[in-house]
Every structure is written in C-alpha cells, then in structure tokens.
A and B are shown apart, each in its own frame.
Chain A
Amino acid sequence: MSDEATMVAEEAPAVEHSLNDAVPGAIIGEWAEETEKALFVAPDKLLPLLRHLKENEAYDYLSSLTCTDYLSYGGKKRGGISERFDVVYHLFSTANKGGSLNLHVRVPEGDTVDSATSIYPGANLQESEVYDLYGIHFAGHPNLRRVLTWDGFHGHPMRKDWKEAYFEEDAKPFRSRHPKGGYQWQEDKLPWGKNATYPPEWDPETWEKPISYVPVSQAPHHKPGDIDTDSLVINFGPHHPSTHGVFRMLTRVEGETIIALEPEMGYLHRNHEKIGERNTWLMNMPFTDRLDYINSMSNNWAYALAVEKLAGIEVPERAEYIRVIMAEFSRTLNHMWGIGFILNDLGALQTPAQYAIEEREMILDLFEEVSGARLMCNYMRFGGVVRDLTPGWVERARYLANERLPRALDMLDRLLSDNEIVRGRGYGVGYLPPEDLIALSISGPMLRAAGIKYDVRKAEPYGIYDRFEFDIPTLSDGDIYARYYIRLLEAREAVRILQQALRDIPGGEVQGAPAYASATLDQGFGTIMGGKGGYTLRPPEGEVYHRVEAPKGELGFYLVSDGKANPFRYHVRSPSFINLNGLGPMSVGYKVADAVVILGAIDIVLGEVDR
C-alpha cells in the first residue's frame, strides 16, 4: 500500500462555491475536467450539506451512491485531495428537471463516513454494498452488513489490491493468451482445483462458522397488554418459485401478517464491477447484456451513452433511431413479461404468462435477425450500432408495432384488468406514499404508479427522445394494481414511440460513412464494414454518470477513466437493486402471500440486483 494513499491531505481550504454560503466550509474542492463537475465535501460537513440540499434546494432524489478506490490511480490525485477512498453521491431533483449534483467525500482507509440514511433512506442498500465491497463504515447506518458476499468473507473484494483466486493480470488482454497461448486450465493453478483462496494461517478444522443472522426486527413486536402471541420468521428462498431467481426474503410474521421483511441477496453476485474494471471499455459491452438479461438492448444503450459522453463520440442519425427502436421494443417485451409474471405470482400460474410472452418471441426474432442473439444482443457500440438493419426488417417491425403489439396489449388489458382476482389482490396492497418512494430512491414504473411524473426520458432527455411525442402515464394509487396497470400503459406509450421512430427512420444510404456507426471515429468501433482494428478506446481522463430510463427504472453507469484502455471505475446503478429498498417498508402490514406479489410488482431481475 502506498504511503501516499493513506497520508492525510493538508487541510484543504474551502473553495469558492455558492453552497459554502449555506453550509460554511462544506465544499473543499472541485474537479472538473471537460466531463462532469465533481464537488469535494468535507467529511464532517456531509450531513448538514445533504440536509440543506434536500430541504432547501429540492435535491430530493439520491440516485447513486458508490465508492472508488484511488489506490492505484496514476498521476495526479483528483482535486488536490489524495485520500484513498472516494464516496460518490449523485443527487437529482424530481421536481426540477435537469442534471445531477455530484458530491465526493474522500476518506483515508479505516475512516468512517456519516451515513446518509437519516436523510435519504434510499442509501440503505447502497451503503451496505459499499461497506461490503470496499470496507467503508457508515456511522449511523441502521443495518450495515454484507449484502453481496457473506458474513466472514475474507477482505473487501473491490479494493484495488484485493486479488482473486484466478487473478492473472490487472488489465485485459492477458499476455498468456498470445502468442504462446498453450491452453491452460485455470483450475490447475490451485491445488484444490476451485476458484477459492484462503487466508494464510486459517485453519479449516478449528474454524467455526460465525453466527450470522439477518436482523428482521425493524417493526415493534406486539404491545404489552395484547394477547401474547409470538412472531416467527419465515424464510423465502434462495430457491423459491416466487422469488424470480435466487433471492431470499426473511419475513417476520405475526399470524399471517408481516411485521418486518428483510431482503437478502448476493446469490447471483457475479463480480460484474470487478471484472468490468479489468476489461477494456469495449469488452464491457457484452457484459452489460448480462445485467438485466431481459433487456440487453437497454443496458447496451445506457453503457454506450455513458462512454460516448465521456469520450465525446457523435452518433449518426440512423443509429439514434435504431437505438430508440431497440430500446422501446425491449421496454414493451419487458413490461409484457412483467405483467405475465405478476399474474404468475398472483396464482394464475403460467397461462397469462404464456399469452403475455408470445409477442416476445416475435420481438426476439427481430433482435436475433439484426444482432445474432435472442437475449444477449450485444448490439450497440460506441458511436452507433454494430451492423445495419437487414433488408425488410423495418417492414416487419412496423407490422409488429402498428398492428400486432397494440392488439396483444389490448388483449391483455381486456383479459386481466377487470379480473376480480387481479383487482381483489391488487387494490390497496403494497402501498407506500409517493414521498417515501422518492426518499427510498425508487425509480421507474413504481414511481409513476404512485403519481409522480418522473421519467428520465423527459427529465433529462438522452438520445433523440425529445423528438417523439409521448406521454408519461401516471396513476395515483401506488398499489399493486397500479403497478400492474402502469406497465400496460407504458408498453402502449413505448409502442407509440416505436410507431413514430419506425415511420421517421432515415434511410440506410449515406455517402461514404456507414449510416449506423459514427463517422467521427473512423476506426468504426466494432462495426463490421466500417473498418477493422479499432478496438481500443481511451477516453480522456474524467468521470461520468449517465442514466437512462430502463424498463425497470433508472439505470445509471458511473465511469471513471484515467485515460487508459480500461475503466478505472465501472459502477452500475441498477434499478432492481435499489428498488428493493422499498420491499421491506412496502410489505409490512400485509399478508405473507402479498409479499410475493409485492416483490413481483417491483419487477426485479437478479442479474441486476446482484450484478
């Protein structure tokens, strides 16, 4: 460990900043290369500043909270401050549209940071994640524990000096692959033939499993004087048909009523970020497919947008249209899938889901035709898309968007919306007031089902969304039924955008450059005909946080570049993960069977929850 990193910086004087008038001495540095402006906050002034921002400046939405380990950051330390860890906050305002406020708190190793949970309860899971992966303690956090790994895991894996069992090199490509790449089985590297390392001097024989328990007791037990009943803990998962994958819920119930619920995740923690920091910028593209594996197109786009913003890459017109079309198709299929599976959770096993995902196959066929794969499309590249649409594709897509999809959505609407079971089990279940939803950093259809007209496509338009005419549907109830119905409405809006985009898409013939990939990069990143060899991208030093409205909510990428071929920090703000903040508060007071539907209506995908 370098001395430099642990050295405490000299008292940085407060810089000129308007926020310093409100909270004196809060902002101690700025770092703004061409990309996004970052404000450095004095660690002890963090809470007052956050409180001020929330109360007086309408920054009510904590979008992302993450951390970067600057141990091995080459060259200058950022903003003249050199502590090792950098906790990053991205705040938005749901009322005033517009960009983010980026706050950074630099702390040396071993220091604690004040927990933001008292102001933004949505920091809960994100702070736990930072604690788990970086080992930063948050003072005042109600329930700081390992969420992605398990209790007793050795070390904090996202730290730059933490190496895993199959570690080869810090950055890809690995030198062992070429030109002397005689195949070597990774498993042969370790005597036990498995991907595991054990700390030295650890004795498995005398070792005892630490008693780890997940506290499921946020709610008070029965009051004195009541009939003396005992609450008990019911465990769902990790293998349970209702959990949509490998997810675990611990519920404390009294009778059948839930009095506390604690989500437990990490069963699909695939080290996306650690691998992402070793990958080159381009290599991350197919990995993003595997985040929300139902909507690989949206993930691709979000990542491409973030990198384009960082590297300043232009996207040609046709590519923009293609991207919108792909994203909206995947929104439609996601919502249809979601509706089908909410019904599944309601007990209408399989049949509605079968009807709901029939059109999905058609859309997947379209995806497969242009990108080559049904699920893992890997279709977008920095500055465009990988290949042009195939002849006849647009006509088929038009048929789908103009006729088949509206018909299918109408059919679902007719079939399900008036169904007494859907109504009976949906009305009034899982309600949370809108302000709580915002405070919990919940995003996507969940917000709009509670009457908050917040959609990144309108609030901070990206791509070419400002050209299309579409509404943000909202419903006011904020219960399961509204969450079901809002998906239907949103799918309809998506189809509306599709119709416009498919109508307006410019032709594929542009002189010289391929119409679907950026001409500003004549290496043509990953375009088949646009030239070969341009596989190394080196964005300028800087950082970026870019978010899009993915079907499941706000999907953001926080990227830090140190000017090299690999991202220095690659963080995914995944909607599914953060929406789970609301699962506990939403379920309290309802029956156990409702918890299943409440989870289903959040519409999580485990690849994105655990990454």
Chain B
Amino acid sequence: MTTTPEGGFQALKEEQIQQYLHDSIVVPEELQANVLVTTVDKIYNWSRKASMWPLLFGLACCAIEMIATASARFDLARFGMEVMRPSPRQSDLMFVSGTVTKKMVPAIVRIYNQMAEPRYVVSMGACATGGGPFKEGYTVVSGIDKYIPVDIYVPGCPPTPEALIYGLMKVHEKVERQSIQQVPWYRKERSEFVPIPVLGPDIFDPRQVQLIREHTLGEGAAQAATDDGGGITLKPNLLTAEQKQQLREIKARYMAAKQPA
C-alpha cells in the first residue's frame, strides 16, 4: 500500500478516510457468483439499464426532490429515465419516495404486484427506508421493506438529487451484475405475488395471522388487556445475548468487507 495518496481530495478521501465513509458497497455473495460476462449479458443489461422507466409515484417530501432530480438541473434524462410512467404496467423502477403510511401500504403493494418483472424498488429517504423521523408514529410503517423487497436504500432526509442519482447508479450496477441465465423472471417459478396487507384495527400482513392470534388470544393477551388505552403494550423484547452476538458478527463481516485489503 502506498503511503502518499495521489490525485487530490477525492483520492485522499478514498484512500485515507475510506474506513470512515460509507460509500463502498459490498457485493453480496450470491451476486458475485452472477458476474457472468458474456456478450449477451452485456447487451441485455446495457439496454435494460439505459432505458429504465420509473413509475411516476410520489409519496411525501422526498417526492419533491425526486421531481427536482427529474427536472432540468439534474436531469434524469441523462440516464434514460425521463419517461416517468404513471402506470405500473409500463415501468421498471419504483421510487418509494417518502413516508409510507399504513393506509397507503395496500396501494403500494398492489402497485408493486402490478409491475412487470424485471422490477426494481428504490427506497428513497429515511422514511421509506426505516420510518425516518416519523418512525414512532402510529400510522407510519417503519420501512417499506417490511412489505415489499427493496433493491436499494438511499438514506437522507431528503436525499439530495445527487444522492438519489448515486442510488440509481447503484441500481445500474446491480442490473449489470445480473445474468440472463439466472434472472428469475424467465423461469417457471416466477417471482412471488406479495399478499396485500389488510387494514384491520391496525394493519396486518395476511402471512402473520397465526402469530398475531397467538398474541391477541393466547398467553400474552391477559397481560396486555390491563392497559385500557386502546392499544396494547407488550413488554419490550430485549435482544438476547445470542442475537447480539449475531449482530456483532454481521457487523464485523460488513466492516471487514468494507476495508480495502
């Protein structure tokens, strides 16, 4: 390793401060296996990536930055993304741009289901990623990834247009790593239909009905019933030592992978 970085601030930033920054991406193992560089793949991926049509779909404040990204100053047209399609059937890319509320989730999941494969989801902003500043709120979903698979998370509140474009380039990278041989959408067992969550007394996922029953009707119910505030309070489920260990390992792996060799 050289000691003196060359090439100005950016190189310096990359070489010296690398470990403090967060812009290096670990290629997940399953994707690394996919880097199959055939000509077909190249053409296939190039054409897909160069004409990705986003869904015209704004949720909250982040949508304003999304519009700013699409307009003259930052110009998504440079990436072949200027055609924002209002119809999910015609679009490949969904920006979940803003706070996802429980009332909105069923609609979003339905839209997602309507999009044709290959489809990508960008979770734009803190809210869509993890609930953001409104995470504690009673009708806010803590991250759209609870309901639909997300390809890229762009943190920031709101992400500046540049940050969003950076995220889109990461999507491009992801697209480039896919191989026509392995992509799921030409196979028999096509991608799943995500069950649409239901608005009951509170939102619930049809897949979790049994789990919820255990808690509302089972043991925990009696203790929960003591609170008359309308909602129920469950004892916070602290992380077990095992889980903590697990987290630490994930984290360590992540850090190790980030560090330049």
Chain A residues close to B by CB (< 8 Å): 1, 148-150, 152-157, 159, 161-168, 184-205, 207, 209, 238-241, 245-246, 266-272, 274-275, 278, 286-287, 290, 293-294, 353-354, 357-358, 361, 374-376, 606-607, 610
For residue A152, which residues in chain B have a CB less than 8 angstroms away from its CB? 199-201
- B-side binding surface: helix, strand, loop or mixed? loop
Residue of B with least CB distance to A199: B201
User: Contact between A154 and B225 (Cβ–Cβ < 8 Å)?
Assistant: no
User: Contact between A209 and B221 (Cβ–Cβ < 8 Å)?
Assistant: no
User: Contact between A196 and B230 (Cβ–Cβ < 8 Å)?
Assistant: no
**Min C-beta distance of B122 to chain A, whole Å:** 16
Q: Would A157 and B138 be within 8 Å (CB), given that A267-B101, A358-B72 are in contact?
A: yes
**Min C-beta distance of B74 to chain A, whole Å:** 9
For residue A275, which residues in chain B have a CB less than 8 angstroms away from its CB? 133-134, 136-137
Q: Would A375 and B230 be within 8 Å (CB), given that A150-B199, A203-B216 are in contact?
A: no
**Min C-beta distance of A275 to chain B, whole Å:** 6
User: Contact between A200 and B200 (Cβ–Cβ < 8 Å)?
Assistant: no
User: Contact between B138 and A271 (Cβ–Cβ < 8 Å)?
Assistant: yes
- Residue of A189, A198, A200, A375 touching B65 (CB-CB under 8 A): A375
Q: Would A294 and B237 be within 8 Å (CB), given that A267-B101, A354-B71 are in contact?
A: no
Segment from B9-17, B34-42, B103-111 that makes contact with A: B103-111
For chain B, residues 44 to 102, give those with C-beta under 8 angstroms from any C-beta of chain A. 56-61, 63-65, 68, 71-73, 86, 98-99, 101-102
**Min C-beta distance of B66 to chain A, whole Å:** 11
User: Contact between A155 and B217 (Cβ–Cβ < 8 Å)?
Assistant: no
User: Contact between B209 and A204 (Cβ–Cβ < 8 Å)?
Assistant: yes
User: Contact between A161 and B137 (Cβ–Cβ < 8 Å)?
Assistant: no
For residue B61, which residues in chain A have a CB less than 8 angstroms away from its CB? 290, 293, 375-376, 607
Q: How many residues of B contact A (CB 8 A)?
A: 72
Chain B residues close to A by CB (< 8 Å): 56-61, 63-65, 68, 71-73, 86, 98-99, 101-104, 107-108, 111, 131, 133-142, 146, 157-158, 160, 198-205, 208-209, 211-217, 221-222, 224-225, 227-234, 236-239, 243
Q: Would A202 and B198 be within 8 Å (CB), given that A161-B228, A287-B133, A354-B71 are in contact?
A: no
> Can you spell out 16 A-B residue pairs with CB atoms less than 8 angstroms apart?
A1-B228, A149-B103, A153-B199, A157-B138, A190-B237, A195-B137, A198-B215, A202-B201, A203-B213, A204-B204, A204-B209, A246-B58, A266-B103, A290-B60, A293-B64, A374-B160
- Tell me the complex Cα distance, A266–B140, Å: 11
For residue B236, which residues in chain A have a CB less than 8 angstroms away from its CB? 189
- Residue of B158, B199, B224 touching A376 (CB-CB under 8 A): B158
- Tell me the complex Cα distance, A272–B137, Å: 8
- Residue of A156, A162, A200 touching B224 (CB-CB under 8 A): A200
Residue of A with least CB distance to B108: A239
User: Contact between A194 and B139 (Cβ–Cβ < 8 Å)?
Assistant: no
User: Contact between B141 and A195 (Cβ–Cβ < 8 Å)?
Assistant: yes
**Min C-beta distance of A5 to chain B, whole Å:** 13
User: Contact between B217 and A267 (Cβ–Cβ < 8 Å)?
Assistant: no
Report which residue of A187, A188, A241, A268 has the largest number of chain B beta carbons within 10 angstroms of its beta carbon: A268
- Tell me the complex Cα distance, A241–B227, Å: 43
Q: Would A201 and B198 be within 8 Å (CB), given that A184-B239, A269-B139, A270-B134 are in contact?
A: no
- Residue of B72, B137, B142 touching A354 (CB-CB under 8 A): B72
- Tell me the complex Cα distance, A199–B230, Å: 7
User: Contact between B104 and A246 (Cβ–Cβ < 8 Å)?
Assistant: yes
Residue of A with least CB distance to B235: A189
For residue A274, which residues in chain B have a CB less than 8 angstroms away from its CB? 137-138
For residue A606, which residues in chain B have a CB less than 8 angstroms away from its CB? 60
User: Contact between A195 and B140 (Cβ–Cβ < 8 Å)?
Assistant: yes
User: Contact between A164 and B137 (Cβ–Cβ < 8 Å)?
Assistant: yes
User: Contact between B200 and A294 (Cβ–Cβ < 8 Å)?
Assistant: no
> A199-B230, A607-B60 given. 7 additional CB < 8 A pairs?
A159-B230, A166-B135, A188-B243, A197-B232, A267-B107, A275-B133, A361-B68
- Tell me the complex Cα distance, A164–B63, Å: 27
**Min C-beta distance of B185 to chain A, whole Å:** 23
- Residue of B56, B111, B160, B203 touching A241 (CB-CB under 8 A): B56
- Tell me the complex Cα distance, A376–B108, Å: 25
For residue A245, which residues in chain B have a CB less than 8 angstroms away from its CB? 58-60, 63
User: Contact between B234 and A150 (Cβ–Cβ < 8 Å)?
Assistant: no
Residue of A with least CB distance to B160: A374
